[in-house]
Amino acid sequence: MKSIVIFGAGNVATHLFHAFSKARDFRVIQVYNHRQEGLENFNSFCKTTTNINEVEPADVYLIAVKDDVIPAIANSIRYKNALTLHTSGGVSLDVLNDFPNSGVFYPVQTFSQYKPLDFNLIPVCIEVKVEEDISFMEKLAGNISNRIFKINSEQRKSLHLAAVFVNNFVNHLYAEGEEICNKNNIPFEILHPLIEETAAKAIIMRPEDAQTGPAKRNDQAVINSHLSLLDPEQQKIYKLLTQSIRNLHGKEL
């Protein structure tokens, strides 16, 4: 049984903690957080601390904190012999340069506080500084997920960028859709099944092949009628995405 210390007590840390609580070969022995808040969720399962100097030696240090805090945490860790990993899609492996054995353990998912997820289905992208660590890393990831991908730092940067498109930007379009509904006294729930099915379709077929709508068929009457209903900022978004759909589907607007 190998030991893990988790750094952080937020959503990613909490989901990782629960996933490893069922792992065969690994056990979380301690959770560190910079403040007491959040640690109460772990108290009854393992040791916790708010003092970085009290962090115990372990086989794996898993740093699951906000991107901009990772360097500070890494600098404060005195024990350097653990395989030390961060969990961020957007941060370079270089921030862990002080550790002879380091890597990235990036679960590609959006984690919520109260919504349970089956970690087995969550893709985990792994990267190690020292090639000899790869089999240990695969074992670590394989203990909680069936979907392991070796992704280097360059690829991870692009993956994180693609995730911004399909998560952050998509979510903002949902928010724009809700605003349009609210302004017109339309219950947003009418669009819920469409939102789910649009996502489901993108998984069983290529999104490019699933494209429909006035932009794809270049229906200017509908496009102009839609534009007349939008505020200037929404008009910009509508025009740009319509043009981009036209470009992808081979015809100029």
- Of the residues 34, 216, 218, 235, which one makes contact with a second copy according to CB under 8 A: 216
Q: Which residues, numbered 4-33, are part of the site for a second copy (CB under 8 A)?
A: none
Least CB distance from residue 164 to a second copy, whole Å? 6
Least CB distance from residue 24 to a second copy, whole Å? 23
Least CB distance from residue 5 to a second copy, whole Å? 26
Indicate whether 151 belongs to the interface with a second copy (CB under 8 A). yes
- Of the residues 97, 112, 135, 153, which one makes contact with a second copy according to CB under 8 A: 112
**CA 160, 164, 166, 167 torsion: positive or negative?**
positive
- Of the residues 162, 224, 251, 253, which one makes contact with a second copy according to CB under 8 A: 162
Give backbone dihedrals phi and psi of 120, rounded to 5 degrees, phi first.
-55, -30
Of 38-46, 79-87, 132-140, 184-192, the window that binds a second copy (rule: CB under 8 A) is 184-192
- Of the residues 211, 224, 251, 253, which one makes contact with a second copy according to CB under 8 A: 211
Q: Which residues, numbered 30-49, are part of the site for a second copy (CB under 8 A)?
A: none
- Of the residues 71, 139, 149, 218, which one makes contact with a second copy according to CB under 8 A: 149
Indicate whether 164 belongs to the interface with a second copy (CB under 8 A). yes
Name the burial class of residue 149, with classes exposed (0-12), middle (13-18) and buried (19+) by CB atoms within 10 angstroms of its CB.
Answer: middle
- Residue owning tokens 């349009």: 180
User: Where are the strands (E) in 33-159, listed by range?
Assistant: 47-49, 60-63, 83-86, 102-107, 124-128, 148-150
Q: Is 59 helix (H, G, I), strand (E, B) or coil?
A: coil
- Of the residues 10, 214, 218, 235, which one makes contact with a second copy according to CB under 8 A: 214
Distance CA 74, CA 95 (A): 7
- Residue owning tokens 């740093």: 63
Contacts of 120 (CB under 8 A, 6+ apart): 144, 145, 146, 147
Indicate whether 93 belongs to the interface with a second copy (CB under 8 A). no
Indicate whether 203 belongs to the interface with a second copy (CB under 8 A). yes
- Of the residues 171, 224, 251, 253, which one makes contact with a second copy according to CB under 8 A: 171
Indicate whether 69 belongs to the interface with a second copy (CB under 8 A). no
Q: Which is nearer to a second copy, 36 or 211 (CB)?
A: 211
Q: Where are the alpha helices (DSSP H) in 42-169?
A: 70-76, 134-142, 153-163
Residue among 96, 94, 69, 64 at smallest CA distance from 80: 96
